[in-house]
Amino acid sequence: MAEPDEPKSRRELMEVLRDERQLFDDLLASLSDAQLLEPGIEGNRCVKDILAHITDWEQRMNLWIQESLAGLIPQRPAPGMTWDDLDRLNEQTYLENKARPLGEVMTASRRSYAQSLQAVQGLSEEDLFDGRRFVWRNGDPLWHMVAANTWWHYKEHRQQIEVWLAARA
């Protein structure tokens, strides 16, 4: 399925989420371990670092979904931080994960993706598409947050890796 401008159902949302993740996973599978660990993306980062970054944001999303369903207002992007701290938060994630072994990061990524699928599948159509469902969303439907932390994120970094690979060739 081609990526819709706006999914109209949970089924469509899940389809595009899975499709973009498959494209991302296919790209990762085409790379050797040496390529996954080679620095040069966003300075000294490597594909493994990007994978840890994506996993971190999936986990944040999963927590925000749990908190939302429990009637809480998530502390976003992280406790004590605002969106102005985004670069600092991403740098913190990089520093926390840069020494982790590749296999550990890949296992965590697969687990996180499965958890994300489960979290999103557990949402109702109302949860996803009614911007009034969660007051903290201020009218913005939850599916935008899901997209930003899943398929939009997968696509953004897949394209970034493809540009990096093309520049190396």
Structure tokens at 61: 């999303």
3-class state of residue 41 by DSSP? strand
User: Contact 73/135 with Cβ under 8 angstroms?
Assistant: yes
pLDDT over 90 at 3, yes or no? no
Instruction: Tell me what the mean pLDDT of segment 9-31 comes to.
Output: 97
pLDDT over 70 at 126, yes or no? yes
Rounded CA separation 164/169 (Å):
9
Q: Does domain 16-168 have CATH number 1.20.120.450?
A: yes
pLDDT over 80 at 31, yes or no? yes
Residue 42's pLDDT is 87
3-class state of residue 64 by DSSP? helix
Average pLDDT, the chain: 95
3-class state of residue 45 by DSSP? strand
Instruction: Tell me what the mean pLDDT of segment 149-154 comes to.
Output: 97
Residue 1's pLDDT is 36
Burial class (CB in 10 A: 0-12, 13-18, 19+), 1: exposed
